[in-house]
Structure 1
Amino acid sequence: MLMFFSMAQEDGFLQFLYSFWFLWFICVLWDVAQHLFHCNLLTDIWLFAVTASGYNAT
C-alpha cells in the first residue's frame, strides 16, 4: 500500500513538472514571437479570425 502511494505521488509530481515545463515553453515561444514580429500576436489572431469569419470591423 505504501509503495503504491509513493508511486502515485511520484507520478503526480512528474505530471506537475511536465505541465510546468510546457507552460514555460509556451511563454518563451510567445516572448520570442513578439520580439521577432514586433507586434501583438493576439491582435493579429483576432483580426485574422474576424476577417476569416467575414465580419467587417469598419
Structure 2
Amino acid sequence: MDDDAVKIARQMYRNDMGLISPKDLKKYRSKVGISQRDLAEITGLSPNAIALYEAGEFPTMLIIGC
C-alpha cells in the first residue's frame, strides 16, 4: 500500500473501533494543558506511544506501558 492508502486504512480502523483521532487527541491534550509525558503517566503508556499516536501511527505493544 502507498502512504495515502495506509492513512485511510488507519483512519477507517480508528472509526470502526471508536478511537479518538490523533488530531483530536492532540487538540484535547493542549486544551487541558497537559504534555505528552503527563498523558503517558495518566494512561500508563509510554511518552513515545503518545507521540506516535499523535503523529498518526499505531504504537506497537513493545512501547505500550514502557
**TM-score band, normalised by the shorter chain?**
0.3 to 0.5
TM-score, reference length from structure 2: 0.36
Q: Which has the higher helix share?
A: 1
TM-score, reference length from structure 1: 0.40
Higher relative contact order (CA 8 A, sep 6+): 2
